[in-house]
Amino acid sequence: MMLGIPDAVIQELGSELSFSQAELDELSTSVIEGCTNALEHGNHMKSETPVRIAIDFERTRIEVTIYDEGPGFDFESIDFSQEPADLMQERGRGIYIMFTYCDELSFSRNNGTFAVKMVKTAKESSGKSES
């Protein structure tokens, strides 16, 4: 999977909506983290195993869901708001970043598929007029 593709889609389409550049950057960073986790931990870097992404755009809301074919993890027992012991470490910050940058973050399992859903809502004035 080319991680630049979801980033480009969010940046291009999101720039036409009511999102600031900072909000789009936060969502893009979160999506790249989610895709990286799906590739590494979900699908164990198997190129034949798909990672799917669904993106739903509204004027003030973007919802991104990333699907992999891995078993997932015990998301019910983790406090995502806990800052990692060392934020400067190279690994282990992805879920914290997603939790911090997104307005909603949820995980689910269904029929052999694990999914992470991220929602970003526009808060800052982008200066764009309603068309």
Residue whose C-alpha is closest to residue 127's, from 16, 18, 25:
18
Domain of 48? 4-121
Is residue 25 packed enough to be buried (19+ CB in 10 Å), middle (13-18) or exposed (0-12)?
A: middle
Give 131's pLDDT tier (boundaries 50, 70, 90).
very low
In this structure, is residue 48 part of a structural domain?
yes
In this structure, is residue 40 part of a structural domain?
yes
Q: Which residues of 61-74 are buried (b: 16+ CB within 10 A; e: fewer)?
A: bbbbbbbbbbeeee
In this structure, is residue 25 part of a structural domain?
yes
In this structure, is residue 127 part of a structural domain?
no
Give 78's pLDDT tier (boundaries 50, 70, 90).
confident
In this structure, is residue 131 part of a structural domain?
no
The total of structural domains in the chain comes to 1
In this structure, is residue 105 part of a structural domain?
yes
- Is this prediction's pTM over 0.75? yes
**27 vs 14, 16, 62, 63, 107, CA distance in Å?**
10, 15, 9, 10, 16
What is the DSSP-derived secondary structure letter of residue 39?
A: I
Give 100's pLDDT tier (boundaries 50, 70, 90).
very high
In this structure, is residue 96 part of a structural domain?
yes
